Copies of this chain bind each other. A is one copy, B any other.
Amino acid sequence: MTEKTLEFWFEYGSTYSYLSVMRIENEAALYDISVVWKPFLLMPIMIEQGMKQGPFLPYPKKLDYMWRDLERRARYRGLQYKRPSVYPPRTLMTARIGLLAAQEGWCPQFSRKVFHLHWVEDKTIGNEQNLMEALSSLGKEPTEILEKAQEQKTKEALRQQTDRAKDIGLFGSPSFMVGSELFWGDDRLEDALQWCVSPGMKAFETDG
């Protein structure tokens, strides 16, 4: 028996990642696919690739559209939506804790909680209130976790994770990897799951 696995690469400050964070475990479970959560920092990659302010901020029309589209897609996915007052948020500390959580097995719960607080209660991701409330709700001791998140080995692990993201060709979030096959964007999650169940182009040769 081989286990079907999908890597879920995401940045906590990415707007469209909200949609995937909230639904990926349920969707993957339908196909017995295990999700490996891979938080990373997207901005260093964006900057290196020449998108110094990310994919939306420099383009007002595209940014306006993003908010409207997110509102529609959130409703379509059955998710609550309230446009956050802060954009983009600062996600370094959240990413470090997310990585720690991934190592210890509580990344899905932690990530859903910080995204929920950001997108429903306007408690900005990366802010202390958001982190404290998320950690407490999971029965974690915030002070202890924050200390661990600032240890050298956690910082280094996040740097390595981000380097790895760059090496495998990521340029956006959310991204899904099935082996060496990359899928980008919440609207490609279904394609990624399909590829995971039946790898190769063949699986796509159906009526669309």
> A143 contacts the other chain (Cβ, under 8 Å)?
no
The contact string, 1 if C-beta is below 8 Å from chain B, for chain A 53-71, is 0000011111011001101
A61 touches B49 (CB 8 A): yes
User: Of the 9-residue stretches A86-94, A114-122, A144-152, A200-208, which lies at the interface with chain B?
Assistant: A200-208
Which positions 108-138 of chain A face chain B at CB distance < 8 Å? Answer: none
B191 touches A72 (CB 8 A): yes
> A59 touches which one: B49, B68, B205 (CB < 8 A)?
B49
A58 touches B69 (CB 8 A): no
Q: What copy number does this chain have within its complex?
A: 2
A204 touches B171 (CB 8 A): no
CA distance A191 to B207 in the complex (A): 19
CA distance A60 to B51 in the complex (A): 12
| Chain B hits for A208, CB < 8 A | 23, 76-78
| Chain B hits for A207, CB < 8 A | 78
CA distance A54 to B194 in the complex (A): 30
B65 touches A182 (CB 8 A): yes
> A139 contacts the other chain (Cβ, under 8 Å)?
no
CA distance A206 to B72 in the complex (A): 11
Known: A182-B68, A184-B69. A61 touches B206 (CB 8 A): no
Q: A68-B182, A71-B201, A76-B204 are in contact. List 7 more A-B contacts (CB 8 A).
A: A49-B60, A59-B171, A65-B171, A65-B184, A78-B205, A78-B207, A78-B208
Q: Which residues of A contact B (CB under 8 A)?
A: 23, 49-51, 58-62, 64-65, 68-69, 71-73, 75-78, 169-172, 182-184, 187-188, 191, 201, 204-208
Task: Name 24 interchain pairs, CB-CB below 8 A, sorted by A.
Answer: A49-B59, A49-B60, A49-B61, A49-B62, A50-B58, A51-B59, A59-B171, A61-B171, A62-B171, A64-B169, A65-B171, A69-B183, A69-B184, A71-B201, A72-B191, A73-B204, A75-B201, A75-B204, A76-B191, A76-B208, A78-B205, A78-B206, A78-B207, A78-B208
